[in-house]
Structure 1
Amino acid sequence: MTETDVNEMSFEHAMKELEQVVGQLERGDVALEDSIALYERGAKLKKRCEAKLKEAEEKVAAITLDGDGTPTGTTPVDAG
Structure 2
Amino acid sequence: MFYGAAIALFACFALALIRAFAGPSVFDRVLALNMIGTKTILLIAVLGFATDRYDFIDIALVYAVLNLIGTVALLRFLTADKEAS
Please say if 1:20 is aligned against 2:23. Answer: no
2:43 is matched with 49
Specify which structure has the higher proportion of helix.
2
Question: Matched residues in 1 for 2:42 and 2:28: separation?
Answer: 21
Specify which structure has the higher proportion of strand.
1
**Secondary structure of 1:34's partner?**
helix
RMSD: 2.0
Q: CA deviation digits over 1:43-63, x for unaligned, max 9? A: 0001101111111111xxxxx
Identity of aligned residues (%): 8
Question: Matched residues in 1 for 2:18 and 2:48: separation?
Answer: 25
Moved over 3 A (4+): none
Q: CA deviation digits over 1:9-40, x for unaligned, max 9? A: x2222121012212432x3x311010111111
Q: How many residues in Structure 1 have an aligned counterpart in Structure 2?
A: 50
Question: Matched residues in 2 for 1:19 and 1:53: separation?
Answer: 18
Q: Which runs of 5+ in 2 are unaligned?
A: 56-85
